[in-house]
Structure 1
Amino acid sequence: MPLPGTLEAGTITLNEAETRLVKLLLDAAHHIENHPSKEQTPALPQELADSPLELRFTGGWVRDKLLGVESNDIDIAINKMTGYQFGLRLNEYFEIPGNAENHGLVNPNNKKGSFKLVKIEANPEKSKHLETVTVKILGLDLDLVNLRKETYTEESRNPQMEFGTPEEDALRRDATINAMFYNITTSKLEDFTGHGLEDLRKGIIRTPLEPYTTFKDDPLRVLRLIRFSSRFAYDIVPEAQQAMKVPEISEALKIKISKERIWIELEKMVKGPDPEGALRCIDHLGLYPTIFADPSPKPTYKPDTTNWHCVYETMKKIIAKNEKDILVRNIILKSKDDQFMGWLIASMIPWSDSPDAAPTKPGRTPLPMTTTVALTSLKAPNQLTTLLTSCNQNLSEIKDLAYRQEDSRENLGMAIRKWGATWKLQTLFALLHEIYEAPDNSTEIVEQYDKFLSKINTLNLLEAHTFKPLVTGTDLAKAIGAKPGPWMKSALDVIMAWQLRNPDVTNPAEAIAQVSNNEGISKLISGESKDKHVSKKQKKGELCSALITHFLRQTLKPLFSQAKSNPEITAAGRKKIGEPISRKAEFGDEEVTKPWKFKEAWALDMLHWVCKSLDREIVEREWGFLIPPILSVVDDTDVKIRARGCEILRLLLEATPSPLLKRTGLAPLFAESLYISTTYLPSLTPEEDAIIILDAALPALLTLSKTAFPPPPSRTSDEKAYTATTASLTTLLRQAILTPYKHAGEHVLIAETLLNHLPPILDELGIETVRFLKDLVPLLGGVLMDPLGAKFPPLLLVGVKSMQCVVLNAWPRVGIWRSEILRGVCGGWLWVLEEGEGGDLEEIKGELRVLVGLVGKVVKGEEGMDWDGEVGELIEVDGRLEELFEGEVE
């Protein structure tokens, strides 16, 4: 192959941007020399301090230019300044008016002469021994650094750095072909090692100094030389190869070089033009156990690389374009990214037969050794480690299917879906593993896997892992509000298997029509509708109904059957007739008896979705499967779990027909559990937990009351039902609101929570609220008059709104209580005024005005009431009340 003209001549020709850059740098250097900095600079040897400022393009840019390859990345070495010092002076030069314009530098804000310096601190672990500065000028990425020499120790590859001469800087580099400079002052190529240009012409790689010392000082150079060898198809000189094989060098490579840096070099090798050459070199030099090291404290398994060459040689043949048209390449290794992962897979094959590594933590599934080596010894990214885990997990199954002559579209498709998005690379792993075990049969093995892929291709299953089922995982997970997991598989498999058996159905809407008789549900599941508010009374589609049945009977039932069932209910979900059966506390490992609280916690999300999606027909049909899990959750001792149970029970009751609840006799059982939940109060229960359970139990109790005792159209239409409804709501108000409020004490958040749930109960009671004025008016008046009320606006606000609700529902008797109501209102108003201004306080003032307006409206309609006179008297006592009564709100 003829040498590039630049290499043959040993000269470098600059392009336009590089020419402009050289002029710019020389002008800047001249300015810096003639205008020394007043700031303190590092002490330099006198000879270096007296020498002129010199700049050189170094390393890879020089090598690539000689090879005729353009590069936008230029390392610039400075002889007597650090890169950061030079960068600052360079910036200073361009801030001088006219300099930026002369060199065509204008930043995006039209502020001439400035550019961004990025200082990269020394980081030896990432092979950055000295700080550098990066800057972009004229479209070129520049790294500024001083010439240096290095002094190494036995313990570390991190050298002591000092200013050095060009010769010292060249000799410290990894290879002679990377050690040449282009002196921009003289426009000359400088080859201080005396071998750089010659070695580049001959296509050989050698170290500037004696190889053993070079590698002992910095073992990373071993990997860099292998990478350059494969990149340029150059030969590493024998003496360097011999030094690489020395055990001390291998040991130094393990000890001195970070795993992250090894991965970076391996990644560059495999992404280079000849990954097979790089792996062959590693194999030939015996470096496999060093690079792909066993991370175990006491390694017991040694990877066998005897047949490894057959693996990477086969990879090269498969990828080679001059090979026959094989599906393994066309299907598995089409893209550069696929080939990159393929080579990484090939590099891990010698570890594929190793026993699994010990679990990282007790109880965890042990990782395959391929994954462990990649994860620990290479610090490889998750993409590779996850792939390697899947490769090992599915290895036997893939091999079995590849030889079984499977014709079932359903079986092949479901297998591919199980293997996941990386199934093609997993298949490559299986192929390479077979070649590793039987290298003499490599041709037959490749042909067999070609047939396997051909069958998959013929059945149009290459992308089976991406096929969207009738309800995709995302749709289903979003619908039930739970994370994707094993609970989804059986549900999605039913849908997906049907699709695979019926490949002619390609329209999702057509598929949904096969299983759903409700357009609204179908559109919701298929994502075609944004209206997610489906009425409880509306009949659910077949798909929704089927999913509910599947979840209740197949998924949730096994999880909730580990613990003892409630002794007061039958298997059909009915109350047992006879004397109440005492419930005994259950002891044991809850992770076993109640997995839905721990590992299978998604079950609560699923149960919540089921109850949220119920209609009357489904409730009737699935009642026996609904009650056991719901009671298990609502009776749990964990406050947060119990609160979740209350919410789920509320959803069930919303969809439950009143006759069903009456027929099963479970209303008292539900009521008992819910009322117990309202007793979870401080100080036995933390305030935060008490609020959570009250917020769930109180709405559930109200729903239970409305379902168990549905109100008649009017009192006269059904006196008995009206009485029962009123009695139920009375019990709810007294036991769930008034009694807990007495125990709230100084816990204002508990008081606020209880009052938040008061208005809905009063609205259900309606006119019957008058029976509780003697309880409610003093209670709420006390909230309004509390001098600390304005210090906690939320409680004061909910107190005002609750008093409004009392007035609206008990208006016939409000006149009798007007004085106490006004006392509370006026007291609250004055406390708010004294507190000052604020968004919450302004809202409270507005609601107080609404409240006095409501009271005034009621009182003015009563005979013998002098509302205006009473208001005037109040204002006369304290003029600050005038604003309260201005423009009473109706």
Structure 2
Amino acid sequence: MFEELLEACKRLEEIKTPSWEISEDILKLIPDKTIVQALNEFLSNVIDKSDHVPMLLVAYATLIKIGKNSKKQDGKDGNDEDDLNDMLHGIADHLSSIILPICSGASLDEDTTDYTQLRRKGEVGLLAIEQLINTPLKAPLQLRPSVLLRLTAFTDVADPWATAESSALARKLLEAQLQILDESQTKSLIVEEILTTFLRPLFSKSRSTAVTASGRKAEFVEQSRYDTVDRETPETKPWKYTHRYAITVFSWAVEHSDSTLLQTHWPSFTPALLTLLDEPSHAGLKVRGLQIFRSFWSRCPPNLMHTTGLASVFEDAVFPAVLLLPTLTPEDESIEILNAAYPALIEMSGLKYPNPGSDPGPGLSTNGKQQITETQRRLLDKIIREGVMVGYHHAKEHVRLVGLFCDVLVCIINGMGILAVKHLKDFIPMVSEIMTDPFGTKHPPTLASATQLLQTILRNCWPRIPHYCNEVVKILMLCWLNIEDEDSFSSTSPIANDLKVELTKTADILSAVMKASKVDFHERVGVLIEKEPQLSKLFRDINPE
């Protein structure tokens, strides 16, 4: 019945058109009395993978024709309501199975997957499923959980098998289906269909020994029955190789879980989470795991992970990522990983990591209501001492990493407030080294980040700043003069002007701190201005009482 239509769709597919518009000429090849059963049987016989896109086009065109002839088809297809429902579900099952993005290759470095083909299959297949759901033969079709699971594979536009169109359509279809499902059905989709039936077998052979098979903290490290096999194979890590879409499915499940679901079913999430966090050999997967973990942590009920004993397990899994530094880790990969790892650790400590450009807000210890606990303080101290400071001293020649460390410290110090004062002996030398570097002006973003860090230190640790006043004055003075002497900055350079504005603001904060401490700031900087008059624009608020 579909031979002539299939040939026409093959010619359409060969054109490689970015649009999947079905012309009237193609629709005319479909008999007016085409029945759902015929399409279901046609899709059930799909064998040749090279013809998947044309076959999906056949389904899409047929469903369009069925929709246009709905009055003729409705009640005249020789099938009762139950049979029609089963066949529609069969078509949805076949379509979703065909578009499933199965990858190939023995390793990620030797990936032989034809992603162009997967992207085209995904686009036309999802269009066909959308047409199927909205066919006028019956009320909007409620897809089975297995089909919904396959749709989630296309929800992340960053995946190589997804496009902006297929990702948007997959999310649209899923959101519409979730509105049909009740709370228990949504819970069953996530817990039973996705986490238990689909993901658990895929991650079982590479599960972290820090948790038991049931997802709870392991009191004693047990030897896995897979310890004797090669852990870097498609057989032991199918989620990393052939079934890479499993990570996207897991991410979607976490994104659509609420605190009520996690309160009861958290053990179903932990094995996959820890397996992704422990991934040692691929930066992209580690970043993806960290992003999913942040989403999971933000949705967990307060103190749930501490109560279950898993907070320390996750801390041990995340923390090594902040030490993936050059030269063993390429700088670009290191920045990508650290930009995901530090926010995860900071949020584990109870602070909110601000979005770029947003106001970090007051620290937990300064709002009068919520105080930092001892557990939070210990983690923040560890992040500073064993993370940021170690990273800075190890990779200080990488200016982009230095800027990242400054941004991380701004967030932590704003959160700790006065409790950060104990780290001044490390902060001030670090800021001094960055801002007084004669070559620091070659990378203004890092210089700006260091200036923001110094302002944050002055605002939060002001009771101890008088002790470091001379050092801070020296930092501001040398940085200002370096900017003035930078040949690449013109007299009207907006970059130089922005840096000077921030330095002047920092000097004003320092002046206010010294005034509050009843220290004569004019006495300290007046002699500098006499020798270098251009510093008067920097230290503008020094008029003696």
Query: Please, what TM-score do these two structures have when normalized by structure 1?
Result: 0.43
Cα deviation, residue 615, structure 1: 2.8
Contact 1:420/1:465, CA 8 A, preserved across alignment: no
Equivalent residue number for residue 759 of structure 1: 410
* CA distance in structure 2 between the partners assigned to 1:668 and 1:782 by the alignment: 34
1:309-388 residue pairs with structure 2 within 5 A?
335-339=24-28, 366-367=49-50, 387=58
Cα deviation, residue 737, structure 1: 0.5
For residues 474 and 731 of structure 1, do their structure 2 counterparts lie closer, same or farther at Cα, with a shift above 3 Å needed?
A: closer
* CA distance in structure 1 between the partners assigned to 2:294 and 2:316 by the alignment: 14
Give the AA of the match of 2:294. Answer: R
Equivalent residue number for residue 181 of structure 2: 515
* CA distance in structure 1 between the partners assigned to 2:136 and 2:312 by the alignment: 55
Cα deviation, residue 741, structure 1: 0.7
For residues 338 and 664 of structure 1, do their structure 2 counterparts lie closer, same or farther at Cα, with a shift above 3 Å needed?
A: same
Cα deviation, residue 390, structure 1: 11
Equivalent residue number for residue 347 of structure 2: 703
Cα deviation, residue 740, structure 1: 1.0
Cα deviation, residue 654, structure 1: 2.1
* CA distance in structure 1 between the partners assigned to 2:436 and 2:222 by the alignment: 47
Aligned residue among 176, 185, 195 for 1:552: 195
Structure 2's unaligned 5+ residue stretches are 1-10, 16-21, 32-44, 63-75, 97-132, 352-362
Q: Deviations over 1:315-351 (max 9, x none)?
A: xxxxxxxxxxxxxxxxxx9954423688xxxxxxxxx
Contact 1:612/1:651, CA 8 A, preserved across alignment: yes
* CA distance in structure 1 between the partners assigned to 2:150 and 2:247 by the alignment: 18
Of Structure 1 and Structure 2, the greater helix share is in 2
For residues 825 and 469 of structure 1, do their structure 2 counterparts lie closer, same or farther at Cα, with a shift above 3 Å needed?
A: farther
For residues 603 and 775 of structure 1, do their structure 2 counterparts lie closer, same or farther at Cα, with a shift above 3 Å needed?
A: same
Contact 1:755/1:802, CA 8 A, preserved across alignment: yes
SS in 1 for 2:522: helix
1:441-480 residue pairs with structure 2 within 5 A?
467=140, 480=155
Aligned residue among 250, 253, 256 for 1:607: 250
Cα deviation, residue 718, structure 1: 11
Contact 1:635/1:673, CA 8 A, preserved across alignment: yes
For residues 478 and 418 of structure 1, do their structure 2 counterparts lie closer, same or farther at Cα, with a shift above 3 Å needed?
A: closer
Equivalent residue number for residue 867 of structure 1: 521
For residues 580 and 804 of structure 1, do their structure 2 counterparts lie closer, same or farther at Cα, with a shift above 3 Å needed?
A: farther
1:773-788 residue pairs with structure 2 within 5 A?
773-788=424-439
Equivalent residue number for residue 357 of structure 2: none
For residues 461 and 713 of structure 1, do their structure 2 counterparts lie closer, same or farther at Cα, with a shift above 3 Å needed?
A: closer
Contact 1:752/1:798, CA 8 A, preserved across alignment: yes
Aligned residue among 445, 460, 463 for 1:809: 460
Q: Deviations over 1:724-776 (max 9, x none)?
A: 33222111110110111110131112212222211111122211111111110
Aligned residue among 513, 524, 535 for 1:858: 513
Equivalent residue number for residue 210 of structure 2: 568
Contact 2:465/2:513, CA 8 A, preserved across alignment: yes
* CA distance in structure 1 between the partners assigned to 2:179 and 2:314 by the alignment: 38
Aligned residue among 680, 704, 710 for 2:324: 680
1:14-163 residue pairs with structure 2 within 5 A?
none
Cα deviation, residue 797, structure 1: 0.8
* CA distance in structure 2 between the partners assigned to 1:843 and 1:461 by the alignment: 56
Equivalent residue number for residue 160 of structure 1: none
* CA distance in structure 1 between the partners assigned to 2:244 and 2:154 by the alignment: 17
Which of structures 1 and 2 has the bigger CA Rg?
1
Equivalent residue number for residue 502 of structure 2: 847
Contact 1:416/1:465, CA 8 A, preserved across alignment: no
SS in 1 for 2:206: coil
Cα deviation, residue 598, structure 1: 3.1
**1:831 has 2:482 as partner:** yes
* CA distance in structure 2 between the partners assigned to 1:476 and 1:622 by the alignment: 23
**1:770 has 2:436 as partner:** no
Contact 1:556/1:603, CA 8 A, preserved across alignment: yes
* CA distance in structure 2 between the partners assigned to 1:712 and 1:388 by the alignment: 57
For residues 748 and 470 of structure 1, do their structure 2 counterparts lie closer, same or farther at Cα, with a shift above 3 Å needed?
A: same
Equivalent residue number for residue 877 of structure 1: 531
Equivalent residue number for residue 731 of structure 1: 382
For residues 821 and 598 of structure 1, do their structure 2 counterparts lie closer, same or farther at Cα, with a shift above 3 Å needed?
A: same
Equivalent residue number for residue 337 of structure 2: 693
Equivalent residue number for residue 413 of structure 1: 88
Give the AA of the match of 1:677. Answer: A
* CA distance in structure 1 between the partners assigned to 2:324 and 2:227 by the alignment: 20
Equivalent residue number for residue 401 of structure 2: 750
* CA distance in structure 2 between the partners assigned to 1:513 and 1:341 by the alignment: 34
SS in 1 for 2:323: coil
* CA distance in structure 2 between the partners assigned to 1:546 and 1:662 by the alignment: 26
Asked which structure has the greater RCO (Cα within 8 Å, sep 6+), the reply is 2
Contact 2:134/2:141, CA 8 A, preserved across alignment: no
SS in 2 for 1:685: coil
Aligned residues: 433
SS in 2 for 1:706: coil
Q: Deviations over 1:514-572 (max 9, x none)?
A: 635xxxxxxxxxxxxxxxxxxxxxxxx666545432432333223323x2322221233
Equivalent residue number for residue 234 of structure 2: 591
* CA distance in structure 1 between the partners assigned to 2:223 and 2:245 by the alignment: 31
1:149-298 residue pairs with structure 2 within 5 A?
none
Q: Deviations over 1:708-732 (max 9, x none)?
A: xxx997999999x743332221111
For residues 334 and 741 of structure 1, do their structure 2 counterparts lie closer, same or farther at Cα, with a shift above 3 Å needed?
A: closer
Contact 1:417/1:464, CA 8 A, preserved across alignment: no
Q: Deviations over 1:617-647 (max 9, x none)?
A: 2112221110010111000012221122122
Cα deviation, residue 858, structure 1: 0.5
Q: CA RMSD in A?
A: 4.6
- Percentage of pairs with the same residue: 24
Q: Deviations over 1:783-842 (max 9, x none)?
A: 110111100111111111111111111010111111111211111111122221444333
Cα deviation, residue 417, structure 1: 4.0
Equivalent residue number for residue 269 of structure 2: 626
Equivalent residue number for residue 97 of structure 1: none
Contact 2:366/2:417, CA 8 A, preserved across alignment: no
